[in-house]
Every structure is written in C-alpha cells, then in structure tokens.
Amino acid sequence: MMQEIKKPEEQTPSPLFERYGNFQIPNDAELAGFYQGLNNEELLPFVRLETEYVNIVQGARIQLGQVFREAQQLFSKRGMRSDRGYTQMTFEKWLKAHGHTKSTSYRLIELANTVDKIQAQALENGDDAALMIDNFLSLSQADQLAIAKGQVDQQTISMVLKADPAARNSPAWQDMLKELDEKKAEMAEQAKKLKEQREQINQLTQRNSDLERSRADTTEQLSLEMQEKRHLQIQLDEAQAQEPERVEVPPEDYVELKERKLELESQLQDTNETLNAVKKELHEAQTAAEAHSKYTQEDIDDLQSQLAELTEQNSELTEKLEQQATKVDNKQAAFKTVSSRSTDMLSAIPKTLDVMALAHDTEQLTAEELQQTDLPALANVLEDKAKQIRELLRDSERIVEGEYDEVKS
C-alpha cells in the first residue's frame, strides 16, 4: 500500500518546516531527527530527493487512478464471463486480483477525476493548470479527498490552488491550509446536519404515510359499514311500505284458560238447572203439605237444605267465573297496551332516528373525530334499550291471550 504523505501541520513540528515549508517527509521520528541534525547545505540535496520522491508518488497515484477509472468503465459496460464455470468478473474482483483494496482504488479514481477537472477549469478560465495541480498535489490526501468530494467551498479552493509557489513557505500559506481544514470541518458538520434533517424528514414522511394509510383503511371500513346500513335501511323502508300482515297469535296457555272457562260455565249452568229444579220441587212440596199430600216436613227440610247448598255452589261458581273473566280481560288489556306501544315505538324509529341522514357527514370524519360526538353514546343507549326488551321477552313465559290479532311488522 502507498505511503500517506502528511502536510506540515500533521507532522511532528520541527525547524525543518521553518526552513523548507514544502518539505514533506514520512512521519518517522528517526528520519526527522536525522534531517534535523543537518545544516542547510547538507540538507538541500535531501530536500531535492524527498521532493522528487513525492512527485513520483503523486504522479503514480494519478496514473493509477486513471487506470482504475478505465477498468471501472470497462467492467461497467458488460459482464466478463470466463469460458469455464461462467463466473462473472467484476471491477472489485479485478482490484482484488491485483492486490488493491476497494476504498484506496476509489480514492485514486477521485484524485484522477479532480486533476482532470482542475485542468479543464484552468483551460476554460485561462489559469495556470500546472500551478493549480502542483498546489493540489502538495496538499494532504485528506484535503485532496475533501476537495474531490466538494466538502470545501470554491473560494477557498481557488485561493489554495492559485497561490504562488513561493508563498508555500510563508505563514499565509499555512493560514490558508488551516482555513481549508476549518471550511472542510464546517461543511462536514453541515453535511451531517443535513443528513440528520433528511432522516427526520424521511421519518416524518413515513409517519405521515402510515397515518394516511390508517385513515384510508378506517374510511374504507366506515364506508363499508355505511353501505351495509344503507342496504338494511332500504330493506326496512320496503318492509314498512308494505301492508302489515295480521296473524293469529295462539298463546301457550290459551287452551287451558279456555277449557277452564268452559268448565266453570258448564258447572254454573248445571248448578242453575239443579237449583231451579229444587226450587220448583220445594214449592210443590210446600203447596202439597198444605193440602195433606205425600211430602212430609222432613222432605221439605231436605229440599231446603239442598237449595241452600246449591245456592252457595252457584255463588262460588259465579265468583270464580267472574275472576277468570277478569283475568282474561286484564291479559287482553295488557297485550293491547304492549302491542300498541311497541308498534308506535317501532314506527317512530325511522322518523326520529334517521341515522343514515348522517352518512355523508360521517364519511368525512375519522374514527377519533366520531368518538368526540354523541353518536357512540346514542349507539350505547339503543343497545341498552334492545337489551331491556330482550330481558322482558326472556322473563315472559307465556303469551296471555289468543283470541285477538297481533300486527307483525
């Protein structure tokens, strides 16, 4: 791997840099100590040697970058296949075969591209291309890479690349290099913040997308429910528009009640007939007794006793029959009340609870917004009323009357 050439402020500070500001040597303490011990006359040939070495290395780096760039372009045009195994050759595999790393190779490609760009700009603006490239190559690889990636503003780049070679030994040159580093750090910080802002924007965009998707799903579900409600409302309207069908409702205890009533009526009729017969016979006996007939006083007393017993039975049967009739009347009245009130309530629901009139408005609201209205409370109240009705139906064990009609909706 090629050796990294450090710029002066990255090396161990020494008087060498005061004597030769562009004197770049490897970061080696022993070599720096050797050069430090030489006087100016002894040091001068070594300065030429190090400069030539750096120029050769820099030139080699540019040439390698150009070769890597050409190879990258070749492999990007079409995949290279071998005749055996059909293994596809790529640029990265080619680099590995020649012992180069991917990161270093791409840095050299960027270096070659930047040198070409500097030459093109110098030609366009009439500047000294050789001077600009020489100044560029005198920078550290980190600064070269920062310029190649556009991490330094153009004004600072122009000042550094167009500086006079003699100025490299001056404090002004060092100040420009320091300013370049500061600009590079500033732009790197700006790039970092920009990246963070983009990530936040992406997160907000994704969150907004998720919310819109959730809203769309909720709206679609609500729309389906509204369509189902409309369908049910149409069926209800059609059913209400038809003539109500009147059907006989035979109560479970109707036969028992009717048989009991008929039995009491039959017993009362038999008792009345027997009572009348006894009354007639008693009258005849009393009349015959006065005429010295066959009826004795004992017979008359017996008939009077039967008459009293039958009269009592007649009174009891009459009372039972009246109670039975009252019970039937009460049940009939209760049925009529329940039937009438429930029919009135049912017919009033479509008029007073026109829920579908809200369909257009509810479609424009989210589920959270609908929860803030009284619509959920209304649904709960209706569910409670339905529950109460079912409890009444469940508690009622029998239908109490049969000889009347019930309106079926």
- Split at pLDDT 50, 70, 90, the class of 408 is very low
- What tens digit of pLDDT does each residue of 193-229 get? 878 888 888 888 888 787 778 777 777 887 788 888 7
Alpha-carbon distance of 257 to 331, in angstroms, equals: 11
Which contiguous run of DSSP H or E holds residue 355?
A: none
CB 233 within 8 Å of CB 356: yes
How many CB atoms lie under 10 A from the CB of residue 120? 11
- pLDDT tens digits, one per residue of 282-305: 777 767 666 555 666 677 777 778
> Tens digits of per-residue pLDDT, 24-40?
666 778 888 888 888 88
Burial of 84 (0-12, 13-18, 19+ CB in 10 A): exposed
The residue that leads in pLDDT, 59 or 338, is 59
- The strand pairing partners of 378, in sequence order, are none
How would DSSP label each residue in 356-408?
A: GGGHHHHTTS-HHHHHTSSHHHHHHHHHHHHHHHHHHHHH-------SSEEEE
From the list 22, 281, 295, the residue with the least C-alpha distance to 138 is 22
Of 242, 279, 276, give the one whose Cα is nearest residue 407.
Answer: 242
- Of the pLDDT bands very low, low, confident and very high (cuts 50, 70, 90), residue 368 is confident
